[in-house]
Structure formats: structure tokens, C-alpha cells
Amino acid sequence: MTGLGATFDPADAVGGGGGSAARASALAGTRERWRMSLEGRALVLVTAILLSVGLAVLFSASALVAVAKDLPGHHYVLRQATGALVGIVAFAVLAKIDAERWRQLAWPLMLLSILLMIAVLFTGKVNGSRRHLFGGSLQPSEFAKFAILVWTPMLLAKKGEVVRRVGKGLMPFAVVIGTLSVLAILEPDYSVAMMFCLLTAVLLFVGGARIAHFVMFGALGLALVTFQLSQSSYVRERIRSFMEGEQASSERKSPTGDQQYQSFVAVGSGGLLGVGFGQGNQQRGWLPLAQSDFIGSVVGEEFGFVGLAGITVLFALYGWFGFRIARNARSPFLTLVAVGLTFTTVFTAFIHLGVVIGLLPNTGLTLPFVSYGRSNLVLTLAMTGILVNIGSERERVYGVSATDPLVAPRT
């Protein structure tokens, strides 16, 4: 039996010459498969833990919210579970598809995301913004985020050293990502708009763009964001509340400050080990959006400092394994894709946790794998599947191993 990675000639297997019939017979016992690296296997384990913890915490955080709306207590977690099933299927499929194929799909994905972002502007407002299509089943901004993670690396790999120029290098990125950001602002969703720009900036930096270009585009972006913030009363209120420290005071405060204060109460009540699963009080109506924007507060109350520290460590491990996969990727394009996928998940998680403990103003970003939101869950699992494929190697298996996946091929 031939070892993995060795050169194999079917003719050799039948004595060096038996013609086409012998060659076909030799090839009949072969197949190709993807073998996950150690980092890929570890990433699957971390993802499984986060998903399991997320469903459990979501049930605790959302049961009373559902009952208050005359819905079954399992309403939110059941809907999330359906998203998890779809996401697991997407994960399994994408982990077995060569990630290089996304290079050819980059432009179609980007154009589709722009169309979806335009379409959502013609829907009705929910909680003051337009963010969903098809009755809440699809969030175009999440799809656009994925499009950026594929399109930007594709163009960077194609341009090479040209990316260091302003005209032919960076302007295409500014036009396309600027369009998506403007559409996000019109929803309005300022957190997503800034996330689009940040993701692009990170990928451009890794892809070799000049630092001076970041200063120029950063100043332009800051000016645009400042202007838009001046037009948004609720964003100004969030920043004012944070800067004045309302979240740390029990005195009369704005709704934004009260939401942050209740998050403080939840985390503080948890102490070291928490009050116990399902025993928290903040999801009884004290903390708004406990099942989504502030689910980290529920983790802090019910599982204490140990619970929040555990979640933080899991996302740190996710980042560690993801960036190791990026370093060992099969091509520059896949390196950039892996960096973007890993950064998106880990950065979003740490921003959410920073808001929960009062280090950052309220951004509205959810906690990946944990917060309620099927579109985000499916996308995050799909992105993890792509990351696992980048961390895998294609191999050819011969003989009995080709038909029995439980038999390890000999080397």
C-alpha cells in the first residue's frame, strides 16, 4: 500500500504495464478527501462548545421574554435550534468544498449583497431601523459582511503590489465598501457600517497597503462617521451616556444608561460562580434585549466571573487556531480569507463582552454562537466551515481506506 503524499502510478501497482484495464482497476480503490489539521480539529471542538453553551444560555435568557409575549417559553431557543441545524449542515458542506472556489464567486456575492442592502431599505421599520428581509429570516448586512470577507481578499490577491497605489490600488475598495457602508447607515445601522470599514482596513493592512493610505482614508471615514453621528440622536445619546458614566450610577438616567446599569447589576450579582443556571433576575424584564445585545450579562449573572472568563478564553482559542490556520494556508488568497473570518468572529465577541462590562459604549453587536439571531448563527457556522477547509489538506487514499473511513491509511 502506498503512503500518503507519495507519488502513485496505477501502472506500477499492476506490475508496470497492464494497459488501460489494469489502470482502471487500480484507480477503482482510490478516493480523495480532506484531512483536517490539528488546528482545524481544535476549532471544531471550540465551536461545538460555544454552540452548546449558547443554546443553553439563550433558553435561560429568553424563556420569560417569550412568556411575556404570550409565546411558549421555548419559542426563541427552538427557532435558534433550527438556525443551528441549518448552520451545522452549512458547516459540514463548506468544510468539504475547496475554499479556493470562493475566488470565482467573489463578484457575484458582492453584487448580490449590494442588491439585498438596497432591497431592505424598502421594508418597514422594526425598532427604528430596517435590517431584515423575508420576515426576519435574512439579515442582508450579515450576508454583506461575508461578501467583504471574500471579495476583498480576491481583489488584493489579484492586484498584488498595485494595491500600494491610491488610484488603481485603493480606490476600488473605497468605492465598493463605501457603497455598502452608506447603505448600512441608511438602515440605519452604524455599528455594521463601521464593521465593514474595519474589516476592509484589516485585510488591506495584511494585504500590503501603505500605512499612509490608512491615514488618508481613516481621516475621510472619521469625517463621514462624525457627520452621520451628528444626524443620529440615538447614537449621540449612547455616546453621551457612556462618557458621563450613567451606567455606573443608580440615580435617574436615560434608557440607554439604565440598560448599561442593569448589565452592571447582572454581572455584579453573579460574583465569582454566578447565581446558577436559570436563576438570574435581569431577564425578568429589567434588562432589555437580554437574549441578544446583552446576553453576555446573563452569562455573568448566572455563571459569574468564571463563566465570562470561560467564554473569553473560548473565543481567544478560536482566534488562536484561526490565525494559525491563516499562517499555514494554501495560498495568499486563503490566508487573507482566514484572517478576515477569524477577526470577524473574535472581534465581534470581544466588543460584545466589552459592552457588557462597561468598557465600551453600547454598539448593538451580538455575541457569536450565543446571542439570538438565526442569520448570524448560520453565517458564523458557515464561516467556521470555510475556515476548517482552509486548515485542511487534500489527500488521496488507496486500498481499503478508500472505502472504509474508519481505517487509518498506512504511511
Q: What is the pLDDT of residues 323-342, one digit of tens each?
A: 999 999 999 999 999 999 99
Q: Which residue has the higher pLDDT, 69 or 147?
A: 147
Q: Is the pLDDT of residue 160 over 60?
A: yes
Half-sphere exposure in the Cβ direction for 76 (13 Å, CA): 26
**Helical (H) or strand (E) element with 31:** strand 30-36
pTM over 0.85: no
Distance CA 129, CA 188 (A): 6
Distance CA 405, CA 396 (A): 12
Q: Is the pLDDT of residue 383 over 80?
A: yes
pLDDT at 367: 92
Q: What is the percentage of the chain residues whose pLDDT exceeds 90?
A: 39
Q: Across-strand partners of 392?
A: 36
pLDDT at 343: 95
pLDDT at 227: 67
pLDDT average, residue stretch 156-184:
86
Q: What is the percentage of the chain residues whose pLDDT exceeds 70?
A: 78
pLDDT at 234: 66
pLDDT at 16: 47
pLDDT at 135: 66
**pLDDT class of 294 with cuts at 50, 70, 90:** confident
**pLDDT class of 8 with cuts at 50, 70, 90:** very low
* Per-residue model confidence as pLDDT tens digits over 72-81: 888 899 999 9
What are the DSSP calls for 263-322, one per residue? HHHHHHHHTTT-S-TT--SGGGTTSTTTTTTTHHHHHHHHHHHHHHHHHHHHHHHHHHHH
**Helical (H) or strand (E) element with 155:** helix 140-159
* Per-residue model confidence as pLDDT tens digits over 208-221: 888 877 676 667 66
Q: Dihedral sign, CA of 252, 253, 257, 258?
A: positive
CB neighbour class for 197 (10 Å; exposed up to 12, middle 13-18, buried from 19): buried
Distance CA 168, CA 158 (A): 12
Distance CA 51, CA 378 (A): 11
Distance CA 8, CA 397 (A): 11
Peptide bond into 10 cis (omega under 30): no
* Helices 171-186 + 102-119 axis angle, to 10: 40
Distance CA 192, CA 181 (A): 8
**Low-confidence winner among 115-119, 232-236, 360-364, 369-373 (lowest mean pLDDT):** 232-236
pLDDT averaged over the chain? 82
pLDDT average, residue stretch 360-388:
90
**pLDDT class of 58 with cuts at 50, 70, 90:** very high
**pLDDT class of 66 with cuts at 50, 70, 90:** confident
pLDDT average, residue stretch 93-107:
94
